[in-house]
Amino acid sequence: MKVLSIFGTRPEAIKMAPLVAALQNEPQINSVVCVTGQHREMLDQVLALFDLQAQHDLDIMVPNQTLNGLYARLISRVDGVLEAEQPDCVLVHGDTSTASACALASFHRRVRIGHVEAGLRTGNLAMPFPEEMNRRVVDAVGDMLFAPTAESRDNLLRENLAGRITVTGNTVIDALAMTSAKLAPGGPLALKLQGRYDWLDPNRRLLLVTGHRRESFGDGFRNICAALAELARRPDLQIVYPVHLNPQVRGVVMSELSGLANVHLIDPLDYLDFVWFMQRSHLILTDSGGVQEEAPYLGKPVLVMRDVTERPEAVRAGTVALVGTDAGRIVSEVSRLLDDPQLHDSFSRRINPYGDGKASQRIVDALCGRAVSEFDPYSAAPSPV
């Protein structure tokens, strides 16, 4: 069976890397990889870290790409790969333009589609935009829906998609478990990274920040920057912010926060380095989907700068909270976690609602028609880190 995996952004590559490795180890599967290059630098970092070789690279990114321009290039360029490879099945991931455009192109050619990370929903097409639309489109045309959790399965059942769903856990935990195991405290890689980031102040607690959501462009990001500028005045805090390469994000962040004491604006980090920073952080402020899934595994509190999330599991477990993009609210919620050790402790429990490190193998087993023991967070062992 020929399986063509298609992905193009940083989070898709992180989450597809362990799956591609599992596909390559499966004798029944001939695995082919196509990267769209929706992200260029941020994708290439991940390909290098996981030693991922792509047989096709559509190289579609242009600076300041519009959604329609991106989508049109994706559909037209991926069609040539589908024609050349004639796959039995295409795998796409999540909710990006790459995922929905490549799923539609495969649907038009009547190729079977597997959706990795199926069934996430906010119920609001504007939040996140355009991702909520993308994930619904892929699920609607998908033949095999690999839902990470029971909640995502239930979302699909409400849309009458029974019969195609397998609950697998999220492959991000496979990637994180592999990566964090390499960073054992005192080990050679951890020491190397400690040397690389020797400008970190051991006497200040670390607030790690990321942000890129389109619905926060403009006022949302200006508010986030105002909150960070206020928090940077605390003598017990240092802020590390790897700034996403999207010019809509970079423009505001660089102009509002450059040169501020205690705020380190750095380029997007390699995944290994970012995991090292997550391990060292006191708390994380983000709008990222992947970081919301990773931090509970590492026992790190997360405040999410969004009004809704498609990842309710950790919010319910009490290790993630939504704070929106109002500057005053961000400052007060971060301050509460800094000033109340009991509250911080209650956010720092290590929980595994998103996966147990075996999601990729479950997906491969399902593709091969083998019985799958579905992911159940209640029987998953606690995270080892």
Catalytic residues: 95, 117, 131, 212, 214, 244
Pick what 191 binds: ligand UD1, ligand UDP, none; C-beta below 5 to 8 Å, kind-dependent.
Answer: none
Q: In what order do the strands lie in the sheet with 263-266?
A: 263-266, 237-242, 205-209, 283-286, 302-304, 320-322
Kindly list the distances between the CA atom of residue 105 and the CA atoms of 163, 265, 337, 366, in Å, as whole numbers in the listed order. 23, 39, 46, 23
Q: What is the DSSP string of 175-209?
A: HHHHHHHTT-TTSHHHHHHHHHTTTS-TTSEEEEE
Q: Binds 63, which of ligand UDP, ligand UD1, none (CB < 5 to 8 A, cut-off by type)? A: ligand UD1
- Which CB sits closer to ligand UD1, 212 or 234? 212
Strands (E), the chain: 2-7, 30-35, 56-57, 89-93, 112-116, 144-147, 165-167, 205-209, 237-242, 263-266, 283-286, 302-304, 320-322
Strands 165-167 and 144-147: what pairing? parallel
Nearer to ligand UDP, 5 or 288 (CB): 288
Using Cβ positions, the residue closest to ligand UD1 within the complex turns out to be: 96
Given ligand UDP, ligand UD1, none, residue 84, with its beta carbon under 5 to 8 Å by kind, binds none
Size of the site for ligand UDP (CB under 6 A): 16
Q: Does 130 bind ligand UDP (CB under 6 A)?
A: no
What is the rounded distance in angstroms from the CA atom of residue 365 to the CA atom of residue 377?
19
User: What is the layout of strands, in order, in the sheet containing 144-147?
Assistant: 56-57, 30-35, 2-7, 89-93, 112-116, 144-147, 165-167
Minimum distance from residue 91 beta carbon to ligand UDP (Å): 17
Shortest Cβ 30–ligand UD1 spacing (Å): 28
Closest by CA position to 249, among listed 229, 221, 207, 228: 221
* CA–CA separation, 72 and 377 (whole Å): 39
How far apart are CB 10 and ligand UDP at their closest, in Å? 5
Q: How far apart are CA 66 and CA 346, in angstroms?
A: 42
Site map 180..219 versus ligand UDP, x via CB under 6 A: ------------------------------x-x-------
Bridge partners (DSSP) listed for residue 208: 240, 284
Return the C-alpha torsion angle 95, 98, 103, 108, nearest 10. Answer: 140
Binding marks (x or -) toward ligand UDP, 245..264, rule CB under 6 A? Answer: --------------------
Nearest approach, Cβ of residue 15 and ligand UDP (Å): 7
* Binding piece for ligand UDP, criterion CB under 6 A, among 142-150, 215-223, 283-291, 352-360: 283-291
Least separation in angstroms between CB 128 and ligand UDP:
8
Taking CA atoms, 10 is separated from 18, 59, 269, 370, in Å, by 14, 14, 11, 30
Tell whether residue 11 is a contact of ligand UDP (CB under 6 A): yes
Could you tell me the smallest distance in angstroms from the CB atom of residue 297 to ligand UD1? Answer: 19
Residues near ligand UD1 (CB under 6 A)? 9-11, 38-42, 61, 63-65, 67, 70, 95-97, 130-131, 212, 245-247
40 interacts with, out of ligand UD1, ligand UDP, none, CB within 5 to 8 A per kind: ligand UD1
Amino acid, res. 127 = M
The item of ligand UDP, ligand UD1, none sharing an interface with residue 234, based on CB under 5 to 8 Å by kind, is: none
**Between 111 and 330, whose beta carbon lies closer to ligand UDP?**
330
Query: Is residue 271 near ligand UDP by the rule CB under 6 A?
Result: yes
- Please give the DSSP secondary-structure letter assigned to residue 53: -
Binding to ligand UDP by CB under 6 A, coded x per residue (else -) over 146-185, reads --------------------------x-------------
Q: Which is nearer to ligand UDP, 11 or 312 (CB)?
A: 11
Angle at 25 between CA 79 and CA 82, to 5 degrees: 5
Helix (H, G, I), strand (E, B) or coil at 259: coil
Residue whose pair of structure tokens reads 């690999």 in the numeric block = 146
Q: Interface residues with ligand UDP (CB under 6 A)?
A: 10-11, 14, 172, 210, 212, 242, 268-269, 271, 274, 288-291, 294
